Amino acid sequence: MPPSLLTPLAAGLPQTVPFVGPEAIERRLGRPFRARLGANESGFGPSPKVLAAIADAAGDSWKYGDPDVFDLRRAVGRHHGVPADNVTIGEGIDGLLGHCVRLFAGQGGTVVTSIGGYPTMNYHIIGFGAQLHAVPYRNDRADLEALLAAAQATAANIVYLANPDNPMAGWWDADTVTAFVDALPPTTLLLLDEAYGELAPPGALPPIDINRPNVLRLRTFSKAYGMAGVRCGYAIGNASLIAPFDRVRNHFGVSSLAQAAALAALADQAFLDIVVARTIAARHRVSAMASAHGLNPLPSATNFVTVDCGRHAAFAKSVLEALADRGVFIRKPMAPGLDRCVRITVGPEAMLDILEAELPAALAAARAMGVP
């Protein structure tokens, strides 16, 4: 046995990964899913203008992308009414979350989040050697009082809050979030993950205030913009928080394709509006479908519907597996209390038709298994 070359921190990290990809399940099952409704992707796809931009940019893909991501930072800034220096671009929110833990918590730091919250955030917290302090959801929402109390009690470096929420799909309104920010210790950074922000109802997102010295807003092109496979997200905040990303990010990491695609996506807000409308309609359809079969869909401000299956976790797991057997990929929360639910991404009519066709038999199969 050769000596381990890993650092003590790396040697102690778990082998687990944040998410098993649907492709791995497909390889195990030996066939592709017919309806991909598990990864909170947008089956409505990216704008046709994005596709054209990618095809256009491909010919120049022998060049490194602009390491300053200048044009896109400026466009994002314009879109949100802030200067480009208050914006940093990353390879999706996942990568930005890692940079945040590294910059603002680090080894021995403390990060507060919710039990059952975004697994990739936990992955980064543990991966960078920070202490993870998680509080339970309350009534299927992030418990802001408990998060605040934990932040105060632990003198947390970071509090993570997804609004709208993943995996529970709900949201807090802007005033409540703003009051939460106001109450945080000034030495605690709020990472406000708004991956689903474009899909939230009016009044859910606080106005962007770059003068706040301890809030970073995280947005992505992976969800409503339909570009999960492109890898582009961004953070907005006070310049004192944004500038340090240049000390740790991969300067050439945002591909030229992603930069071109994101510019085209931002410029086509009419397409986004259509996707938002279709997503909302699809949410209603999935919710109605769940209700019609005796399940309880929770309110959603996202592109997925979290459905309370009304029994123990084992039953929800059976529903998920019975759907997978029938070619429908969904996911489910795993944390105690949330694990009675499944999480169904919405999508275009054709995919929901498959879900609708398979759901009765899947539920019957799950119910027949006799799990509690």
Q: Which of residues 77-96 bind a copy of itself (CB under 8 A)?
A: 91-92, 94-95
Between CA 100 and CA 85 the distance in angstroms is 17
Contact characters 46-75, a copy of itself, x per CB under 8 A: x---xx--xx-xxxxxxxxxxxx-x-----
Q: Look-up: residue for tokens 């299956």? A: 309
Pairing of strands 35-36, 215-220: unpaired
Burial (Cβ within 10 Å: 0-12, 13-18, ≥19) of residue 11: exposed
Taking the least distance from each CB to a copy of itself, the nearer of 36 and 219 is 36
Taking the least distance from each CB to a copy of itself, the nearer of 64 and 294 is 64
Binder to a copy of itself among 6, 183, 334, 369 (CB under 8 A)? 6
Between CA 116 and CA 334 the distance in angstroms is 7
In the complex, what is the shortest distance from the CB of residue 189 to a copy of itself, in angstroms, rounded to a whole number?
A: 5
Binder to a copy of itself among 79, 255, 284, 321 (CB under 8 A)? 255
Q: Is there binding between residue 31 and a copy of itself (CB under 8 A)?
A: no
Q: Is there binding between residue 327 and a copy of itself (CB under 8 A)?
A: no
**189 three-class SS:** strand
Q: What Å distances lie between residue 114 and 16, 245, 268, 272, CA to CA?
A: 19, 25, 35, 30
CB 113 within 8 A of CB 121: yes
Binder to a copy of itself among 24, 277, 281, 334 (CB under 8 A)? 24
Burial (Cβ within 10 Å: 0-12, 13-18, ≥19) of residue 13: middle
Binding span for a copy of itself by CB under 8 A among 97-105, 147-155, 282-290, 294-302: 97-105
Binder to a copy of itself among 27, 28, 78, 312 (CB under 8 A)? 27
Query: For residues 120-179, which are near a copy of itself according to CB under 8 A?
Result: 120, 127, 157
In the complex, what is the shortest distance from the CB of residue 158 to a copy of itself, in angstroms, rounded to a whole number?
A: 9
Q: Is there binding between residue 365 and a copy of itself (CB under 8 A)?
A: no
Binder to a copy of itself among 28, 251, 277, 312 (CB under 8 A)? 251
Q: Is there binding between residue 186 and a copy of itself (CB under 8 A)?
A: yes
Burial 245-279 (b: 16+ CB within 10 A, else e): beeebeeebbbbbbbbbbbbbbebeebbeebbebb
Between CA 242 and CA 86 the distance in angstroms is 6
